[in-house]
Structure 1
Amino acid sequence: MTGDRKKEPRTRIQVVVVGDAGVGKSSMILAIATDSFAEGVPHVLPPTRLPTDFYPDCVPLSIYDSSSRPEDKSKLDMELKKADVVVLTYACDQPETLTRLSSYWLPELRRLKLNLPVIVVGCKLDLRDVCQPSLEEMMAPLMQKFREIETCIECSAAKQIQVAEVFYYAQKAVLYPTAPLLDQETQTLKPRCARALKRIFILCDRDRDGSLSDAELNDFQVKCFNAPLQPPEIVGVKKVVSEKLAEGVNENGLTLTGFLYLHALFIERGRLETTWTVLKKFGYNEEICLRDDVLSSPSYKRSPDQSIELTEKALDYLKGVFTAFDKDGDGALRPAELEDIFSTAPSNPWDSPMYKDTMETNSVGGITLNGFISQWELMTLLEPQKSSASLVYLGYPGDTLTAFQLTRRRKYDQKKQRLQRGVIQCFVFGPRKSGKSAILDALIGRPYIDSYEPTKGDRCAVNKIGIAGGTTKTLVMREISEDSVSAFLENKEALAPCNVAAFVYDSSSEESLKRAAELLEQVAVHGECFGYEVPCVLIAAKDDEESNPSCITNSARICTTMGLETPIPVSLKLGDNNNLFRRIVEAAQRPHLSIPETEVGKSTKQHRHQIQRSVGFAILGATLIVGGITLYRFYNMRKLQSSS
């Protein structure tokens, strides 16, 4: 999806012709360029360009001849690295040149790691010994060993036999490559190709009955090839499928299985352009990903303290998707059901490590509706373009711009004294073994685990939280490991996406509280310095253990000094979270409160206040002076008027 490299449409194709000396490379190139055969051709021809309209696809070919002399090896390597396709030649009347393909040329191309299609061409067909085995017999072992070979063909420059076909196949190998479509080892469609064709099938299956009726099949044909299918042709297509694959056709028409089988058949018979035409008509590029113009990803220009959220329309659509794919109606998606949802996309967008262990599941690992919707909201928050692309692959109706909305800037939220967004992001700080991971696990309903395992990198958890008034908010908690805090805060805008910060400490450890207080100070100073102050809460974890009296005293002092609410005690081991998540959301909802004040911040505010007072006095003085001058002028004018 987003992240995959997108290629520009081809404006030309570069063909490099290689092979042993004297096999007929130059004569073949000259024959295609001049439509004639010449004796005594140069050792190496200059680059030859075929006109745009030479072949139906109207993409010009640039053909590069090559020398096989050792002293020209470096130049040949350079040309090969710029090539789109290789035409590898041998002479039909020189068996040793055929042997050299497997002993030297093909291994050499692999050594260069070119990853290019290869067209094997037997030149001098007119001199071929009639007793030689057929082309198919000679090439079958070679093609089995070297899967990069797309096509094998023989030609004769002297007799003008199949020379044009050589370069047609070269062009075709580039425009309609086999590699993205077919697994050569298993001779089956590659997963990404099958996923794309499944999406196309679903889009064409307008009545959603799981098969393409004659009318739907005809519409598909017109869309892709600008020509209708006649009734006998439709019958013929279904007959071909049903004879080989009974489940490929049912009483309603061509099934998905039959549709995929047809394309595998086209590819097997060398009609790759058929499948590629279908893919391109439905917006796919050479990597079998949807083109940018089809994805139409939102490109919101936003400030660092704004975020993108799903609209009600998108959320309703996703709830419908959940219901449709929850085949057993148990209120949760099993792995197979989730895979089915994303089976029309190049891959599952949640396979990325950042989405591991982030959402609510039931006791057997099925994703609940809350977990499913929350995960979409998390992806939209972190990677809005991936979220947009995923909606398109699922078949979201209409423009994806209707699926997203931009939140208000946090500075306006603070001015209005109310957070106006549905997805709230909480950054979780704290020393090792303080209980941060246990809090994230509790958010998504996971049982408490007594053993300690340090979190590697950042981790997120997300779930729906009910608040006053019967409404819900989506809470995203992002755990930031103690070791990464300093590097994290090197970014001036590190706290911009944060709506509330939580600082966790082990309530039985004075050292843990001390470290949490240091982290709180760091974060608070950073917010004061760069204008991204956030509400903060302290969490006294492990409340089931014997409390440390100094922790109670010191935590109260810290809260009083910095202007924070008293710490929230929790015991996740005993299952008591003390309404922690609702209280975090409520703290975020009041963005003007619970903002810690540091000594640095107080000094800065005091200095700013003094400057404002000085400026105020200066303005007042200037106003009085201006007023006095105005009154004096008015008095003089009245005096002059009275004397006259």
Structure 2
Amino acid sequence: MVGSDGNASSLSQNSVRVVVVGDHGTGKSSLIVTAAAQAFPSNVPPLLPPTHLPADYYPDCVPLVIIDTSSSPENRNKLTEELGKADAVVLTYACDDTATLDRLSTFWLPELRRLEVKVPVIVVGCKLDLRDDQQPVSLEQVMSPIMQQFREIETCIECSSLNLIQVPEVFYYAQKAVLHPTGPLFDQETQTLKPRCVRALKRIFILCDHDRDGALSDAELNDFQVKCFNAPLQPSEIVGVKRVVQEKQPEGVNSHGLTLTGFLFLHALFIEKGRLETTWTVLRKFGYNNDIKLKDDLLPVPIKRYPDQSVELTTEAVEFLTGIFCLFDIDGDGALRPAEVDDLFSTAPESPWGEAPYKEAAEKTALGGLSVDGFLSLWALMTLLDPAQSLANLIYIGYAGDPALAIRVTRKRRIDRKKQQSERNVFQCFVFGPKNAGKSALLNSFIGRPFSEIYTSTTNERFAVNLVDPIGGSKKTLVLREIPGGAVKSLLSNKESLAACDIAVFLHDSSDESSWKRATELLVEVASHGEASGFEVPCLIVAAKDDLDTYPKAIQDSTRVSQDMGIEAPIPVSVKLRDYNSIFRRIITAAEHPHLSIPETEAGKNRKHYNRLLNRSLMFVSVGAAVTLVGLAAYRVYASRKNTSS
């Protein structure tokens, strides 16, 4: 791997916009004119119009647009506007004026931070020909303290427009900082590759290691070189590359070839030597953008679906993931421990399950690992909540098939209701209930967590996912989504909020009458929203804490409400006693038959009654109109015959 210059086809930018700023008199305009004309100008206007350098000016074949600016206070708004559109900033000082050098750290660099200009900065010392040679101070000595304080400085360079010294290099470095930025690849403080860069290079290494022996053979290394740089490696070059690695990193080469350690070492070496274009060319050839994520055109297009459709993994994707699980279960204990999960996702930009809603959403083994059911459950949850992220991560971990064959969009729930059967394999259940009703305890029990007497109020939505084995059917994935009491109003403010809900469960503390009343209020609110929006959902009432004595009128009240609304009587459960009364199977069964268990409010019944009366009235009007027309026609026939006979 000897590297090469980048090329335009691998770059996403059509042009690079460089804004030149600095104190008055530091040589900004002369620098720009000299770069464009390749000669020092005799007369320079106070402020230049935008200056264009053609695509063939530099090897990357990307044109530059250079913007001159004024540092006068009356032009401050224009300066701010131009900085907001900059891809890179060239910040100038005069080599013969120490005051302009001091102003870099006392004004200009803090000002760029204040304006939130988050682009590479190239510091340029102009008028090198005027510097006093009697006070020799190296550029490194001058700039090192400033670069330590302002990490946004990409590089520093001195130039002379008059003597044509390093003028083209100024804008080459500016363009290079945009097209081949250091920040995403390398940590300057630790002098190491950044984690996301390591993850991307590891994925590339694995893709190029065709025989999966953990090393790039000479043939694989040559294939890699041809793919990235359109030129083969000579045998002597391969020997030279491996010799360099082995001298610095003995474990970077083994009997099979260049190891991952050696591959990463080479890229760190390129970057340290300023050859960032080599690593960027490799990354871009394998489809990565400047954020070191796969470019959008390599990922599936946004999945089109109606609000009441969901997305699931196909059998093909599940089989792939099952194989991946076995591959990364290094110790063969039937579970992926955290380190094994991290290793599995080590070729993705980051592990997708490190934060909510996925963290702590699935059942763990006694040693804290994920069983295959827990592993597949988390994938099902990610596919349900964020299909694009799920597909992207499938690709990152090695799925090579057609992404379109990895997922399926389910049938609309409205059609499921008409057909009286759902074909879904993943069901989302919204869990409603007042405070301290037992919602969190139910979710915890679903993923195998022990019961706790300590009450902790839930303030944010939380998910729990697991596989459920229904009677007489294949396993289904159930996603429980806890809706905190304070979030109900916000949820129902969205007309389509229930579109993603396959079934809703309403918990109440069976020993507390006020808890029951609030649960029924929530039931009415949700049912009313479903009737109004057209996204009616099956509902179940759960009488939690069945180990406690029920309040006196519990049976009477619950019977009345369930009968009035046309749904099943409350299902008693006790998480404390582990008496679940098959609640999770019953949730799945109700979700599989979406035409049943749909509550009706009084308003809904009145609306239906009114519609029936209206339809009946229209029918009578139609029949009456038909009779009138028939009568009128008969009269006309009778009158016609009468006139004829007379």
Q: Normalized against structure 2, the TM-score is what?
A: 0.92
CA drift of 1:217 comes to 1.2
Counterpart CA distance in 2 for 1:235 and 1:629 is 105
1:383 maps to: 386
Residue number among 162, 178, 189 corresponding to 1:185 in the alignment: 189
1:582 maps to: 585
2:414 maps to: 411
Counterpart CA distance in 2 for 1:572 and 1:286 is 50
Check whether the contact 1:297–1:389 (CA below 8 A) recurs between aligned residues: no
3-state SS in 2 of match to 1:468: coil
- With over 3 angstroms needed to count, the CA separation of the structure-2 counterparts of 1:538 and 1:634, relative to structure 1, is same
Counterpart CA distance in 2 for 1:529 and 1:128 is 78
Counterpart CA distance in 2 for 1:149 and 1:352 is 33
Counterpart CA distance in 1 for 2:608 and 2:597 is 17
2:376 maps to: 373
1:558 maps to: 561
1:208 maps to: 212
3-state SS in 1 of match to 2:457: coil
1:81-230 alignment to 2 at 5 Å?
81-94=84-97, 97-127=100-130, 132-230=136-234
3-state SS in 2 of match to 1:275: helix
Counterpart CA distance in 2 for 1:363 and 1:499 is 31
- Please give the root-mean-square deviation of Cα atoms over the aligned residues, in Å: 2.7
- 1:334 is the counterpart of 2:340: no
Counterpart CA distance in 1 for 2:640 and 2:255 is 105
1:492 maps to: 495
Counterpart CA distance in 2 for 1:533 and 1:106 is 58
- With over 3 angstroms needed to count, the CA separation of the structure-2 counterparts of 1:414 and 1:635, relative to structure 1, is farther
Counterpart CA distance in 2 for 1:83 and 1:597 is 59
Check whether the contact 1:509–1:551 (CA below 8 A) recurs between aligned residues: no
What does the per-residue CA deviation read over 1:303-336, in whole Å, with 9 as the maximum and x for residues that have no partner? 2211111111111111111111111111221111
- With over 3 angstroms needed to count, the CA separation of the structure-2 counterparts of 1:499 and 1:121, relative to structure 1, is closer
CA drift of 1:178 comes to 0.9
Counterpart CA distance in 1 for 2:329 and 2:637 is 86
Of 40-49 and 182-191, deviating more is: 40-49
Check whether the contact 1:297–1:400 (CA below 8 A) recurs between aligned residues: no
Residue number among 252, 256, 259 corresponding to 1:252 in the alignment: 256
1:16 maps to: 19
Counterpart CA distance in 1 for 2:596 and 2:74 is 77
What does the per-residue CA deviation read over 1:326-351, in whole Å, with 9 as the maximum and x for residues that have no partner? 11111221111111122212222223
2:434 maps to: 431
Residue number among 294, 298, 303 corresponding to 1:299 in the alignment: 303
1:400 maps to: 403
- List gaps (5 residues or longer) in structure 2: 1-10
3-state SS in 1 of match to 2:154: strand
- With over 3 angstroms needed to count, the CA separation of the structure-2 counterparts of 1:66 and 1:507, relative to structure 1, is closer
Query: Given residue 256 of structure 1, which amino acid in structure 2 is its aligned partner?
Result: L
1:3 maps to: none
1:527 maps to: 530
Check whether the contact 1:309–1:377 (CA below 8 A) recurs between aligned residues: yes
CA drift of 1:551 comes to 0.8
What does the per-residue CA deviation read over 1:80-123, in whole Å, with 9 as the maximum and x for residues that have no partner? 33322222334445555545544554444444432332223333
Residue number among 603, 626, 629 corresponding to 2:606 in the alignment: 603
- With over 3 angstroms needed to count, the CA separation of the structure-2 counterparts of 1:632 and 1:416, relative to structure 1, is farther
Counterpart CA distance in 1 for 2:408 and 2:535 is 22
- 1:458 is the counterpart of 2:461: yes
Number of residue pairs the alignment of both structures matches:
635
- With over 3 angstroms needed to count, the CA separation of the structure-2 counterparts of 1:251 and 1:637, relative to structure 1, is farther
Counterpart CA distance in 2 for 1:106 and 1:488 is 45
Counterpart CA distance in 2 for 1:77 and 1:595 is 59
3-state SS in 1 of match to 2:384: helix
CA drift of 1:293 comes to 0.3
Check whether the contact 2:316–2:406 (CA below 8 A) recurs between aligned residues: yes
Counterpart CA distance in 1 for 2:470 and 2:90 is 69
2:471 maps to: 468
Counterpart CA distance in 2 for 1:349 and 1:104 is 41
Query: Given residue 536 of structure 1, which amino acid in structure 2 is its aligned partner?
Result: C
What does the per-residue CA deviation read over 1:413-465, in whole Å, with 9 as the maximum and x for residues that have no partner? 11111111111111111111111111111111111111111111221111110
What does the per-residue CA deviation read over 1:518-540, in whole Å, with 9 as the maximum and x for residues that have no partner? 22222222222222222221111
What does the per-residue CA deviation read over 1:101-148, in whole Å, with 9 as the maximum and x for residues that have no partner? 445544444444323322233334445555624444544444344332
- With over 3 angstroms needed to count, the CA separation of the structure-2 counterparts of 1:639 and 1:534, relative to structure 1, is same
Of 282-291 and 544-553, deviating more is: 544-553
Counterpart CA distance in 2 for 1:74 and 1:610 is 68
Counterpart CA distance in 2 for 1:624 and 1:152 is 96
3-state SS in 2 of match to 1:305: coil
3-state SS in 2 of match to 1:87: strand
The alignment-based identity, stated in percent, is 61
Of 211-220 and 122-131, deviating more is: 122-131
1:5 maps to: none
Counterpart CA distance in 2 for 1:139 and 1:507 is 72
Residue number among 287, 293, 296 corresponding to 1:289 in the alignment: 293
Check whether the contact 1:297–1:388 (CA below 8 A) recurs between aligned residues: no
Check whether the contact 2:300–2:388 (CA below 8 A) recurs between aligned residues: no
What does the per-residue CA deviation read over 1:60-95, in whole Å, with 9 as the maximum and x for residues that have no partner? 222233445555555444433332222233444555
Counterpart CA distance in 1 for 2:510 and 2:274 is 71
Counterpart CA distance in 2 for 1:282 and 1:122 is 38
Query: Given residue 41 of structure 1, which amino acid in structure 2 is its aligned partner?
Result: V
- 1:510 is the counterpart of 2:513: yes
Query: Given residue 290 of structure 1, which amino acid in structure 2 is its aligned partner?
Result: L
- List gaps (5 residues or longer) in structure 1: 1-7
- With over 3 angstroms needed to count, the CA separation of the structure-2 counterparts of 1:269 and 1:513, relative to structure 1, is same
Of 498-507 and 20-29, deviating more is: 20-29
CA drift of 1:175 comes to 1.1
3-state SS in 1 of match to 2:196: helix
Counterpart CA distance in 2 for 1:81 and 1:497 is 40
What does the per-residue CA deviation read over 1:153-211, in whole Å, with 9 as the maximum and x for residues that have no partner? 33332332322222211211111111111111111111121111111112112222222
Check whether the contact 2:462–2:482 (CA below 8 A) recurs between aligned residues: yes
3-state SS in 1 of match to 2:472: helix
Of 345-354 and 165-174, deviating more is: 345-354
CA drift of 1:577 comes to 0.6
2:570 maps to: 567
Of 237-246 and 28-37, deviating more is: 28-37
Counterpart CA distance in 1 for 2:239 and 2:23 is 50
3-state SS in 2 of match to 1:549: coil
2:278 maps to: 274
Query: Given residue 263 of structure 1, which amino acid in structure 2 is its aligned partner?
Result: H
1:80 maps to: 83
2:3 maps to: none
Check whether the contact 2:459–2:486 (CA below 8 A) recurs between aligned residues: no
1:261 maps to: 265
CA drift of 1:37 comes to 2.1
Of 427-436 and 342-351, deviating more is: 342-351
Query: Given residue 166 of structure 1, which amino acid in structure 2 is its aligned partner?
Result: V
Counterpart CA distance in 2 for 1:170 and 1:411 is 57
3-state SS in 2 of match to 1:405: strand
Query: Given residue 483 of structure 1, which amino acid in structure 2 is its aligned partner?
Result: G
Query: Given residue 382 of structure 2, which amino acid in structure 1 is its aligned partner?
Result: M
Counterpart CA distance in 2 for 1:157 and 1:292 is 42
3-state SS in 2 of match to 1:223: helix
3-state SS in 2 of match to 1:254: strand
Counterpart CA distance in 1 for 2:609 and 2:96 is 96
- With over 3 angstroms needed to count, the CA separation of the structure-2 counterparts of 1:16 and 1:305, relative to structure 1, is closer
Residue number among 444, 447, 450 corresponding to 2:447 in the alignment: 444
Counterpart CA distance in 2 for 1:522 and 1:416 is 27
Query: Given residue 281 of structure 1, which amino acid in structure 2 is its aligned partner?
Result: K
